[in-house]
C-alpha cells in the first residue's frame, strides 16, 4: 500500500494537482472534439463502417444461445434447418408449426415438418431486422404468438447473420429471402403464404415482394412492422445520428457512403410496384424508426396504382401501450387485426 501511495505521489505531485486536473480535462475535451471531427472523415473514407452500422450482423445478441436448439427458447414445435441459396452461401432457418400441432411434433425430423406445411394452415415468412439472430427474444415471442394463432412461421438468418455463411449485402439478403419463399412454395400446397418484415427486414420484404410481383407470383399479403421509407431517411432519423444531425455535410459524410455501397432499402419506391394486400403496423413511441416514417410510407402506398385493387391498411399503436420498436407482438389486438386483414384465414 505504501509503495503504491508513493508511486502515485511521484506520478501526480501534490503541488501540481489543480493544474494537472485542468490540463487533463482540457486534453480530454480536445480529444473529444478531435474525435467528433475525425469520425465523419473516417466514415467517408471507409464506407464499410456505415455498412456495418446498417446491418449490425456482427452483433449476435443474445450471444449464448445455440441456434441448432430452438427448444431452448421454449419452441418445442420448431425445426432448425439449413438451405443453400447459392454456392458458398448457407442460411439457417427455423420452421415453427402451428401450436395446436405441438404434441405431434415431438421427436419428428425435418421431413415431417416439411410435409406438415401442405396441411391446411397458412404460412408466414418472417424477415427480421438488423442485429441479432432468428433466436432474438422479441422475434421468438412473435413466432409464439403467430403459431398460437394457427400459422406456420418460417424465420431465417440472412447470409452473414447468426450461423448463416456469406457476407451481408442488400442483394444477398433479398436473394436469401426469395430462396426461402420458393422453398416454402414448393411445400405449402394451396395454403396462403404471407410475408412479414420487421424494421430493416421491411426493406428486404418489399424488395422481395416487388420481385415476386414482377415474376407474377405475388404472396397472399405483405405485413410491414415498424417500416421506414428508405434507408437514407431512416439513417437520418436513427438515434445514432442525433449527435451528427447538424454537422455540416451530414448527408455527404454519412448518407452518401450508404448509397455508394449499394444500400437503398427503398420501401417508398417498391410499394409502387407491389400488387397484394398491404398491412402496416407501427407504434407511436418507436424510438428507432419514427412513427412518421411508417405513416409516410402508408401515404405513399395507399394511392399507388399498383395497389388500387388491394386492401392497404395502417394500424397505429398508441404510445401509452409502450410497444416501442419491437413489442407489437404483445398487443392483444393482434389476433383480431390479422383476422380482419387476412380475412379469417386462421384456423383457430
Ligand X SMILES: *[C@@H]1O[C@H](CO)[C@@H](O)[C@H](O)[C@H]1NC(C)=O
- As annotated, the active-site residues are 199, 286, 325
Q: Of 178, 158, 199, 194, which Cα lies nearest the Cα of 283?
A: 199
Closest-by-Cβ residue to ligand X is 76
Decide if residue 71 touches ligand X (CB under 6 A): no
Is 76 or 167 the residue whose CB approaches ligand X more closely?
76
From the number of C-beta atoms within 10 Å of its C-beta (0-12, 13-18, 19+), residue 256 rates as middle
Place of cell 407474377: 216
Decide if residue 99 touches ligand X (CB under 6 A): yes
Cβ at position 74, least distance to ligand X in Å: 7
Is 99 or 283 the residue whose CB approaches ligand X more closely?
99
Decide if residue 347 touches ligand X (CB under 6 A): no
Cβ at position 101, least distance to ligand X in Å: 9
Decide if residue 142 touches ligand X (CB under 6 A): no
Residues 259-288 that bind ligand X (CB under 6 A): none
Cβ at position 61, least distance to ligand X in Å: 24
Total number of residues that touch ligand X (CB under 6 A): 5
If one counts every other C-beta atom within 10 angstroms of the C-beta of residue 35, the result is: 10
- Sequence-distant (6+) residues with CB within 8 A of 239 are 287, 288
If one counts every other C-beta atom within 10 angstroms of the C-beta of residue 337, the result is: 17
Q: 276 with 219: CB under 8 angstroms?
A: yes
Cβ at position 75, least distance to ligand X in Å: 7
Cβ at position 107, least distance to ligand X in Å: 12
Is 102 or 314 the residue whose CB approaches ligand X more closely?
102
Cβ at position 338, least distance to ligand X in Å: 18
Q: How far apart are CA 65 and CA 224, in angstroms?
A: 27
Q: How far apart are CA 192 and CA 184, in angstroms?
A: 11
Q: 154 with 196: CB under 8 angstroms?
A: no
Is 72 or 251 the residue whose CB approaches ligand X more closely?
72
From the number of C-beta atoms within 10 Å of its C-beta (0-12, 13-18, 19+), residue 174 rates as buried
Is 248 or 332 the residue whose CB approaches ligand X more closely?
332
Decide if residue 102 touches ligand X (CB under 6 A): yes
Is 9 or 69 the residue whose CB approaches ligand X more closely?
69
Q: How many CA atoms lie within 13 A of 221 on its CB side?
A: 24
Decide if residue 76 touches ligand X (CB under 6 A): yes
Decide if residue 200 touches ligand X (CB under 6 A): no
Site string for ligand X, 150-189 (x = CB under 6 A): ----------------------------------------
Instruction: Give the residues across from 86 on adjacent strands.
Output: 89
- Sequence-distant (6+) residues with CB within 8 A of 319 are 283, 284, 285
Which residues contact ligand X by CB under 6 A?
76-77, 99, 102, 144
Amino acid at each position: 500500500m505504501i509503495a503504491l501511495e508513493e508511486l502515485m505521489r511521484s506520478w501526480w505531485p501534490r503541488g501540481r494537482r489543480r493544474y494537472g486536473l485542468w490540463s487533463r480535462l482540457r486534453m480530454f475535451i480536445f480529444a473529444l472534439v478531435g474525435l467528433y471531427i475525425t469520425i465523419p472523415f473516417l466514415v467517408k473514407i471507409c464506407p464499410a463502417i456505415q455498412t456495418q452500422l446498417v446491418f449490425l450482423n456482427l452483433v449476435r445478441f443474445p450471444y449464448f444461445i445455440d441456434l441448432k436448439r430452438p427448444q431452448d427458447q421454449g419452441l418445442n414445435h420448431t425445426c432448425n434447418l439449413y438451405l443453400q441459396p447459392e454456392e458458398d452461401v448457407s442460411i439457417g432457418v427455423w420452421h415453427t408449426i402451428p401450436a395446436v400441432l405441438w404434441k405431434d411434433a415431438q421427436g419428428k425430423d425435418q421431413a415431417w415438418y416439411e410435409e406438415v406445411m401442405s396441411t391446411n394452415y397458412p404460412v408466414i415468412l418472417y424477415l427480421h431486422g438488423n442485429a441479432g439472430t432468428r433466436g432474438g427474444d422479441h422475434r421468438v415471442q412473435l413466432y409464439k404468438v403467430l403459431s398460437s394463432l394457427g400459422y406456420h412461421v418460417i424465420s431465417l438468418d440472412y447470409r452473414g447473420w447468426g450461423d448463416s455463411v456469406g457476407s451481408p449485402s442488400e442483394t444477398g439478403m433479398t436473394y436469401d429471402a426469395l430462396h426461402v419463399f420458393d422453398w416454402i412454395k414448393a411445400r405449402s400446397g394451396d395454403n396462403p403464404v404471407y410475408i412479414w418484415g420487421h424494421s430493416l427486414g421491411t426493406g428486404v420484404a418489399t424488395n422481395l415482394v416487388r420481385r415476386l410481383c414482377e415474376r407474377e407470383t405475388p404472396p397472399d399479403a405483405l405485413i410491414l412492422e415498424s417500416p421506414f421509407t428508405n434507408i437514407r431517411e431512416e439513417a437520418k432519423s436513427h438515434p445514432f445520428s442525433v449527435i451528427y444531425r447538424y454537422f455540416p455535410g451530414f448527408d455527404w459524410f454519412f448518407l452518401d457512403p450508404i448509397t455508394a455501397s449499394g444500400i437503398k432499402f427503398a420501401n417508398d419506391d417498391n410499394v409502387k410496384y407491389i400488387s397484394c394486400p398491404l398491412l402496416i403496423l407501427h407504434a407511436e413511441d418507436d424510438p428507432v424508426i419514427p412513427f412518421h416514417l411508417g405513416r409516410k410510407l402508408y401515404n405513399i402506398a395507399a394511392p399507388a396504382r399498383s395497389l388500387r385493387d388491394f386492401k392497404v391498411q395502417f394500424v397505429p399503436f398508441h404510445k401509452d401501450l409502450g410497444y416501442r420498436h419491437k413489442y407489437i407482438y404483445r398487443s392483444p389486438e393482434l389476433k383480431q387485426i390479422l383476422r380482419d386483414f387476412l380475412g379469417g384465414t386462421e384456423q383457430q
